[in-house]
Amino acid sequence: MVLTRKGATIFDKDNAVVQREAIKHTTATSLVDKANYRHFMAKEIHEQPEVVGHTLARYVDMATERVALPVKLPFDFKDIQRVSITACGTASYAGYVGKYWFERFARLPVEIDVASGIPLPRGAACARAISRSSSRSPARPPTRWRRLRYAKAQGAHTLSVVNVPTSTIARESETVLPTLAGPEIGVASTKAFTCQLMVLAALAVAAGQARGELSEADESQARAWPGRDPAADGGGADARAADRTSWRATSRSPATCSISAAAPAIPLALEGALKLKEISYIHAEGYAAGELKHGPIALIDENMPVVVIAPYDQVFEKTVSNMQEVAARGGKIILMTDAKGARGGDHQTRW
């Protein structure tokens, strides 16, 4: 590309001039400004209810609360034998959550491939790439791009879940499902991650409906769309002032941190560990709560913060049992749960 005062001239690999459609960027100045926040990551965390609402509005008919995909898929989920998801970092953890949903709601086997790893196997029926920015110079194409090309060469359908619908990965994909998170300037992905989850949830429900595998109970649960009322969740990211002292005391210069969760929240534990390493520069380990006794418990002492992700579900009591073992060894517990879990579930104890 050659840029001059009069415009831009684009050349292909053979040095021939090519024409490209001009696309006017519609991003508002307010979206790339910190507003009243100290840094972009804080701003983008607080934007989550709004952008999740925007994403769901694109994928769900709010009048009926049923999935309505914005594009027609070039395949029928009834003909799909398996799905391969390729992604890196935070996007790969979104893929692991999506794997749980596809296998539960659609009874569709899913493989998760780290994009920097081995190529996709032959015969993959449907390959999906998940990416936050998904754009890079053609001279240094992202690994997800190369894997998409490989999947297409093997005859697989290709679909991308991206935040930039004009990106390289989107152009290489047969179908594009945008996340509508808006510009994410913070280095650590936050709102793009939650929007990826919303798109994967909608797609998993659509797959379950198409395959006739979605039970009424599962459909009812899936239709309790998180974020469908952004105003109701607007304060979700705010810390309670009364708890800040205990948070500071717990997190004061730990050498390492442990994060545990039970399915399907295990990928969230892995993502939490990634964020702690990326933002706080301390080592963190995410693992399944059931694996506590298989090694991690040996490291727990009074200097070890243990974050437990435990929404009230069918394995809540087992997770509480693990928490009690951590407490017996003097570990500092930070519990992340819902309202019923905070009350101690069916017990009268408040954690």
Domain-wise residue ranges, the chain = 37-231, 241-342
Listed ranges 2-16, 22-36, 130-144; the one with the highest mean pLDDT: 2-16
Q: Is the pLDDT of residue 207 over 90?
A: yes
Summarize the confidence of residues 206-235 as an average pLDDT.
69
Summarize the confidence of residues 288-316 as an average pLDDT.
89
b/e map 71-85, b = 16+ CB within 10 Å: eebeeebeebeebbb
37-231 maps to which CATH number? 3.40.50.10490
Give Cβ neighbours of residue 231 (< 8 Å, ≥ 6 apart).
49
- The confidence score (pLDDT) of residue 176 equals 93
Q: Give residue-wise pLDDT tens across range 98-129.
A: 999 999 999 999 998 876 655 555 545 677 78
- The confidence score (pLDDT) of residue 126 equals 75
Summarize the confidence of residues 161-180 as an average pLDDT.
88
Q: Is the pLDDT of residue 11 over 80?
A: yes
User: Rg for the chain (alpha carbons), in Å?
Assistant: 22
Summarize the confidence of residues 335-349 as an average pLDDT.
74
Confidence band, pLDDT 50/70/90 cuts, at residue 190 = very high
Looking at the DSSP bridge assignments, the partners of residue 294 are: none
Summarize the confidence of residues 275-303 as an average pLDDT.
90
Q: Work out the widest C-alpha separation in the chain, in whole angstroms.
A: 74
Q: CA-CA distance, 103 to 109, in Å (whole number)?
A: 6
Confidence band, pLDDT 50/70/90 cuts, at residue 88 = confident
Contact 204, 101 (CB under 8 A): yes
- The confidence score (pLDDT) of residue 307 equals 92
The residue among 349 and 260 whose pLDDT is bigger is 260
pTM score, two decimals?
0.83
Contact 1, 8 (CB under 8 A): yes
Enclosing H/E stretch for 51:
helix 48-59
Contact 152, 175 (CB under 8 A): no
Q: CA-CA distance, 8 to 17, in Å (whole number)?
A: 11
Looking at the DSSP bridge assignments, the partners of residue 159 are: 128, 175
Looking at the DSSP bridge assignments, the partners of residue 54 are: none
Enclosing H/E stretch for 228:
none
Q: Is the pLDDT of residue 238 over 60?
A: no
Q: Is the pLDDT of residue 204 over 90?
A: yes
Q: CA-CA distance, 294 to 255, in Å (whole number)?
A: 21
Summarize the confidence of residues 276-284 as an average pLDDT.
90
Q: Is the pLDDT of residue 25 over 70?
A: no
Q: Is the pLDDT of residue 230 over 70?
A: no
The conformation of residue 156, written as its DSSP 8-state character, comes to -
Q: CA-CA distance, 13 to 250, in Å (whole number)?
A: 56
Q: What percentage of the chain reaches a pLDDT higher than 90?
A: 35
The residue among 174 and 343 whose pLDDT is bigger is 174
Q: Is the pLDDT of residue 234 over 60?
A: no
Q: Which CATH architecture has domain 241-342?
A: 3-Layer(aba) Sandwich (3.40)
Do 37-231 and 241-342 share a fold? Answer: yes
- The confidence score (pLDDT) of residue 143 equals 61
Q: Is the pLDDT of residue 19 over 70?
A: yes
- The confidence score (pLDDT) of residue 27 equals 63
3-class DSSP state for residue 192?
Answer: helix
Q: Is the pLDDT of residue 74 over 70?
A: yes
Listed ranges 8-12, 16-20, 201-205, 246-250; the one with the highest mean pLDDT: 201-205
Q: Is the pLDDT of residue 73 over 70?
A: yes
- The confidence score (pLDDT) of residue 235 equals 46
Ranges 42-46, 148-152, 309-313, 331-335: which has the least confidence:
148-152
- In order of 251, 304, 330, the CA distances from 195 in angstroms are 29, 32, 37
